[in-house]
Amino acid sequence: MNNKLWQSLVNAWKIPDLRTKLLFTAAMVAIYRFGAYVPVPGIDLDALREFFEKGGAGVVGFLDLFSGGALARVALFALGIMPYITASIIMQLLTVVIPKLEELAKEGEQGQKVITKYTRWLTVGLSTVQAVGYVFLFRSQNALPDLNWWRALLIIVSLVAGAVFVMWLGELITARGLGNGMSIIIFISIVSRIPSGTAKLFTMSFVTIALFLVIALAVVVGVIWITSGERRVPVQYAKRVVGRRMMGGTSTFIPLKVNMAGVIPVIFASSMMMILPTFAQFLGGGIGTWINSWIGPSTFLFIILEAILIIIFTYFYTAVTFNPIDQADNLKKYGGFVPGVRPGRPTAEYLDRILTRLTLPGALFLAALAVLPWIMSRFLNVPFYFGGTSLLIVVGVALDTMRQMEAQLLMRHYEGFLK
């Protein structure tokens, strides 16, 4: 098994296109990690370190996980990829609500370029609001001594520019590298916190460590099992004459995955749930304390609402990525049909019914993983870096990237990573 894995890696490195994609992705990740260590001007790092070590960061400490520790240092990339993800969520929701955006989405590549442009401008707006909030928050913690308007403006512009640059890195990885750029950046941010989390983990008792390892192994196996699970709907193509040749008469299948949305619903739900607590942290005072006591990251209500949002986003994103009506129309157009089901609308209803039932266990599994960090932190006192959501993102992104590499290998008649 190990020999086959190493042989697959060697084969992947031999392919020029795949090697270029790997090196390009590694270079973008290196740039991202470098920017996560370059602090913006005018920050008192000692005061910031004391603020985070005392646990006073609250929601900001939770958000620091998705920036790979850059927020705790108020680095250039402190805002990370989260503003871009939030903007993408808002634009996808608006596409369903606003007819004009829906028309643009149906125009293909040209319409998608316009929507992407709107998403980028929305990212700039969200980054500006978030940067202003952080300036006021850290000023209240004496991390910004001798703050004046020019220095505040410099910090805000630096943070916004960093967020835009991270957005650009994510788009470059998606276009020229391997995997989804947003997922890769969050993956790297979480993985970068594992060494410090491991150090904290080994300060616990042996029983706690052993129990955690068992739970983590079960989560990894569950993620791989759910992610790889699929329902294959058989499709038969009728024979037809095209010119002087007989076409069709073949059998194939439509793969419907249990978790067709991947890790995107978890990332989307986490982003949406952090909006209100983040603004509450910026407000401070009695209102901010009251909101965080009810819907902060460690509260029961936060976990339940996040689980519900994950289920909703799983169905929503699955509907966006797979349209049963379009699939049925394409089958009918090319002479394909599902055995025992009439072409056209009955086929669309049949596929929709299967997909609805199939998505439910995947959505419930993702929601259960969202609850797992809260349980582990309450009963095992395990760092959040090793929570179910983090493990899901890490394992899910790794599987998606390996699938893309495998597709490149199989195109060139090499044996892939996955069986």
- On whether both 78 and 139 belong to a single domain, the answer is yes
- On whether both 26 and 128 belong to a single domain, the answer is yes
- On whether both 264 and 287 belong to a single domain, the answer is yes
- On whether both 187 and 282 belong to a single domain, the answer is no
Final residue belonging to a domain, choices 155, 176, 192: 192
In a domain, 415, yes or no: no
Q: Which of 114, 119, 86, 90 is nearest to 100 (CA)?
A: 114
In a domain, 133, yes or no: yes
* Higher pLDDT among residues 271 and 362, named by residue: 362
- On whether both 141 and 245 belong to a single domain, the answer is no
Number of domains into which the chain is organized: 2
Judged on CB neighbours under 10 Å (0-12, 13-18, 19+), 111 is middle
- On whether both 140 and 178 belong to a single domain, the answer is yes
Q: How confident is the model at residue 250 (pLDDT cuts 50, 70, 90)?
A: confident
Residue 19 has pLDDT above 90, yes or no: no
In a domain, 405, yes or no: no
- On whether both 347 and 367 belong to a single domain, the answer is yes
Instruction: Supply the pLDDT for residue 1.
Output: 43
Instruction: Supply the pLDDT for residue 160.
Output: 93
In a domain, 417, yes or no: no
Domain that holds residue 269: 199-386
- On whether both 171 and 203 belong to a single domain, the answer is no
Window from 55-64, 112-121, 145-154, 269-278 with minimum mean pLDDT: 55-64
Q: How confident is the model at residue 414 (pLDDT cuts 50, 70, 90)?
A: low
- 235 sits in the region (left: phi over 0; alpha: psi -120 to 50; else beta) called beta
- On whether both 164 and 240 belong to a single domain, the answer is no
Final residue belonging to a domain, choices 147, 162, 192: 192
In a domain, 409, yes or no: no
- On whether both 308 and 269 belong to a single domain, the answer is yes
Instruction: Supply the pLDDT for residue 273.
Output: 76
Final residue belonging to a domain, choices 145, 172, 192: 192
CATH number at residue 73: 1.10.3370.10
The pLDDT tens digits of the residues spanning 189-216 come to 888 877 776 777 677 777 777 877 787 7
Q: Which of 2, 188, 173, 159 is nearest to 75 (CA)?
A: 159
Task: Please compute the mean of the pLDDT values over residues 151-159 and round it to a whole number.
Answer: 87
Task: Please compute the mean of the pLDDT values over residues 389-393 and round it to a whole number.
Answer: 72
Residue 28 has pLDDT above 80, yes or no: yes
The pLDDT tens digits of the residues spanning 316-370 come to 888 877 888 888 888 888 778 888 888 888 888 888 899 888 889 888 888 887 7
The pLDDT tens digits of the residues spanning 121-142 come to 999 998 998 888 778 777 766 6
- On whether both 145 and 250 belong to a single domain, the answer is no
Instruction: Supply the pLDDT for residue 239.
Output: 66
Instruction: Supply the pLDDT for residue 2.
Output: 47
In a domain, 92, yes or no: yes
Instruction: Supply the pLDDT for residue 120.
Output: 92
- On whether both 97 and 8 belong to a single domain, the answer is yes
Instruction: Supply the pLDDT for residue 253.
Output: 83
Window from 98-112, 232-246, 252-266, 403-417 with minimum mean pLDDT: 403-417
Residue 9 has pLDDT above 90, yes or no: no
In a domain, 400, yes or no: no
In a domain, 396, yes or no: no
Window from 78-87, 298-307, 352-361 with minimum mean pLDDT: 298-307
pTM over 0.85: no
* Higher pLDDT among residues 374 and 71, named by residue: 71
